Amino acid sequence: MVESQRGPDGISRRELLRRSALIGAGVPLASVVAAAERGDAATRRAAQGRRGGALTVASAQGIPQLDPMKVVFIYETVMWGLLWNGLTRFTQQGARLRPALAQSWTASRDLKTWTFRLREGVRFSNGKPLTARDVKRSIERIVDPKTGFFLRSLVAVIRTVRVVDRHTVQLRLSSPSASLPVLLSKVQIMDLDALDQVNRRPIGTGPYVVREFVPDDHIVLVPNERYWGPKAPLDRLEIVRAKDPAAAVTSLQAGDFDVVYEVPWQDVQRLDRRADIAVITRRRQPPTALHIMMDVTSPPFDDPRARQAVAYAVNRKAITDALYAGRGLPAHGNVPVPSDSPSYERRLPSYRFDLTKAKRLFDQAGIGERDTLTYWSTNAIAEFTPMGEILQSDLAKIGIRLQVRNQEVGAWVARFAPAGKKWPGLLIPNFYTGLNPPLLLRFWTGFCECNYDSTSFEGLLNRAEASRSARGRDQLYKQAQRVFNRQAPVAVVQLFSVPVAIRSRKARGVWHDPGGNVQFHDLRLVS
């Protein structure tokens, strides 16, 4: 089994936690020293292997298009690190944010004006030099509501982008944002003059370029000869669609695939026992929050006691062990922050599985044997329905009826999304990912389909963003967690990450960034 976090220089846990504290709260306010060369060298040391060769990555999901600003399915973000770069990035060496296209940045005292100095000499894959104008246009496009970027609401704080000089760009924000550099790691800089060719010959600054792309079927990547960093580790990287997950696992075992993204959880332990295959997950601070939503504006879950009852009735450990091969971090504090994060509030009241407490709270909320709750599941995520069945069985022990309804994904999502719909009496499994903890809390500021809208909670997060001190931010995030824990807008089950299987004797270099996005740009053949 391969750990995705420990590098060859063996970062100590204390050092990792210290660095993570910086990231959990944003970046230092002083200018970041251009330590890119140190980071790149560490990256190179870490990704031991040889240059060259070809590998095939498979997934049951497809890539329907290549525009990084029009991502619809989270799997499409695997292309970000391959074809594009943002101003900042994370590397395999822990949770520290590093320079990418920007070599340094500074912020004003009020955290509303950010100045980014771009790396010089960078060219797009078509040879065109990268300038501040390209950065300005890319950021403006991503903030434009017409583009439909799925994280637009979080970067909408950017009010204007100004070109200071050829290699300097200044962002003015409508409100303070200490985590702006982290958010900008999600903003890929494009050559927008070539936008009409983005699905045939996308022009980026990443280590690879596209040789062939068939939507939802396969994509073939070859090294970008103009890449500003070390040459891409492979001569050819093919990312293919294997529509059936079971068939994908079979093909992995047969050697037709080298990497399989999101192997079925039921196969994880079996595959991991093989000497030639490793299943990689992010063990430390996993960033994907699996939760059960309730509509906090409709009965019976407009009563916080009813929501707390559900949170007590969820047997997190049983779900993690039975459905996620024990690879998740049960969220006993009922907050979407992993308990090993330095930003986690350790004094939270626990919501450990307790049917007696759940029953008492259901009684107080007026939910009893005459009521029927509905678990609204979908067959698109294999674990959702069994999770509902576990909950159904536990609730039956205290006389609460839960019926499990399984829907096709379109019908499933139509019932509750986007936020603002009313769905009384339903319990809906879902997961959020894509942001580093504790930034993940932001998904509950008006976006959650559970209709959670708490002024105190949002106020604390806004104050955290406006805080210049990392310690101050941490404290505010912890206060926000206390509010979340008390109000229990959802029942957070666990924090986990997508399992990726790799033929470990042949390849290495797959890792998860702190936001949960799987990175393939360090993928290489084993020496």
Q: Which of residues 412-441 bind another protein (CB under 8 A)?
A: 412-415, 417-420, 432-434
Task: Determine if 274 is a binding residue for another protein (CB under 8 A).
Answer: no
Which C-beta is closer to another protein: that of 300 or that of 437?
437
Which C-beta is closer to another protein: that of 74 or that of 97?
74
Q: How many CB atoms lie within 10 A of CB 468?
A: 15
Q: Residue 487: CB partners within 8 Å, gap ≥ 6? A: 304, 307, 452, 454, 457
Which C-beta is closer to another protein: that of 46 or that of 501?
501
Residue of 81, 86, 62, 82 whose CA lies nearest to 72:
62
Which C-beta is closer to another protein: that of 395 or that of 427?
427
Which C-beta is closer to another protein: that of 375 or that of 431?
431
In the chain, DSSP finds a helix count (H) and a strand count (E) of 15, 23
d(Cα 520, Cα 367) in Å, to the nearest integer? 48
Task: Determine if 405 is a binding residue for another protein (CB under 8 A).
Answer: no
Task: Determine if 206 is a binding residue for another protein (CB under 8 A).
Answer: no
Task: Determine if 382 is a binding residue for another protein (CB under 8 A).
Answer: no
Among 247, 393, 422, 505, binds another protein (CB under 8 A): 247
Q: Burial code of 293-306, b = ≥16 C-beta within 10 A, e = fewer?
A: bbbbbeebbebebb
Q: Which stretch binds another protein (CB under 8 A): 251-259, 292-300, 362-370, 388-396?
A: 251-259
d(Cα 381, Cα 323) in Å, to the nearest integer? 11
Shortest Å distance, C-beta 184 to another protein: 16
Task: Determine if 161 is a binding residue for another protein (CB under 8 A).
Answer: no
Whether 477 contacts 438, CB under 8 Å: yes
Q: Residue 71: CB partners within 8 Å, gap ≥ 6? A: 77, 149, 150
Which string of x and - marks every residue 44-73 that binds another protein (by CB under 8 A)? ------------------x-xx-x---xxx
d(Cα 524, Cα 510) in Å, to the nearest integer? 9
Q: Which stretch binds another protein (CB under 8 A): 39-47, 227-235, 249-257, 461-469?
A: 249-257
Task: Determine if 266 is a binding residue for another protein (CB under 8 A).
Answer: no
d(Cα 234, Cα 508) in Å, to the nearest integer? 12
DSSP H helical segments within 34-177, as ranges? 36-46, 80-83, 132-143, 152-155
Task: Determine if 270 is a binding residue for another protein (CB under 8 A).
Answer: no
Residues that bind another protein (CB under 8 A): 62, 64-65, 67, 71-74, 145-146, 148, 150-154, 199, 214-217, 240-244, 246-247, 250-251, 253-254, 256, 380, 408-415, 417-420, 432-434, 443, 446-448
